[in-house]
Amino acid sequence: MRFRSLAGRLLAMSLLVMLCAVLATTWLVVNSTKAQLRQELGQGIGNDAQIYEALLGYAAVHPTWSDVESALVEMPGYNGRKITLTAEDGTILASSDGPRPDLPARRSAAVDPLFVEGFLAPREDADVEVIDKRALGPYRLTAAEHRMLSSRFARAEECMTEQGIDTSVDYSTAGRPTLTPLSTSADLVSAQLADCLRKSGADMVTDTERAALAQLTALTNACLVGPTAEPVVTVLPGFTWKPIRPGLNVPGHPPSCISQSRRKQLAPYVAPPAYLYISSPGRGAGTVFDFSRAVTARVAPVAVLVLAVAFAVTLLVGRRISRPLRALTQAVESGAGDLPVRGRDEIGRLTAAFNDLSERREAVERQRRAMVSDIAHELGSPLTNIRAWLQAARDGVAEPDPELLDLLADEAELLQHIINDLSDLAAADAGRLRLRPEPVYLNELLGQVAAAHAGSADGVTIEVEAADDPEVMLDPSRIRQAVGNLLSNAVRYSPPGTTVTVRSRLDRDDLVIEVADTGPGIAEHDLPYVFDRFWRADKSRNRSTGGSGLGLAIVRKLAEAHGGTVTATSRLGQGSTFTLRLPT
Listed by start position, the domains of the chain span: 1-133+275-329, 137-269, 374-583
The span from the first CA to the last CA of the chain, in angstroms, equals 57
Q: What are the two backbone dihedrals, phi and then psi, of residue 110, each rounded to the nearest 5 degrees? A: -100, 130
Which residue type sits at 527?
A: L
Torsion of CA 132, 136, 141, 143, to 10 degrees: 70
- Residue 153, SS3? helix
Torsion, CA 168, CA 171, CA 173, CA 175, rounded to 10:
90
Print pLDDT tens along the chain (584 aa). Answer: 445 555 556 656 766 776 677 677 767 766 766 655 555 555 556 677 788 888 888 898 999 998 888 777 677 656 667 888 898 888 888 887 777 777 887 888 889 999 887 655 444 454 456 898 889 999 999 989 999 999 999 999 999 888 888 888 888 777 888 888 886 565 667 888 888 989 999 889 899 999 999 999 999 999 999 888 899 999 998 889 999 988 888 888 999 999 999 999 999 999 999 998 887 665 444 444 555 566 667 767 876 787 677 777 776 776 676 667 666 677 666 665 566 666 666 667 777 777 777 777 777 677 667 666 666 766 777 788 888 888 988 888 888 888 888 888 888 877 776 676 566 666 676 667 778 899 999 899 999 999 988 887 888 999 999 877 788 899 998 899 899 989 988 998 888 999 999 999 998 889 999 999 988 999 998 999 888 866 766 654 444 444 445 678 889 988 988 999 999 999 998 899 999 999 98
Q: Alpha-carbon distance 122 to 241, whole Å?
A: 29
DSSP annotation of 137 reads: G
* Contacts of residue 520, Cβ cutoff 8 Å, sequence gap at least 6: 493, 572, 573, 575
Q: Which of 154, 135, 163, 132 is nearest to 63 (CA)?
A: 135
3-state SS class at 237: coil
User: Rounded to the nearest 5°, which phi and psi values hold at 467?
Assistant: -75, -175
Gap between the Cα atoms of 106 and 103, Å rounded: 8
Cα Rg of the chain (Å, integer): 47
Domain boundaries 374-583, CATH class: alpha beta
- From the centroid of its chain, how far is CA 558? 38
Instruction: Give the other-Cβ count within 10 Å of 265's Cβ.
Output: 18
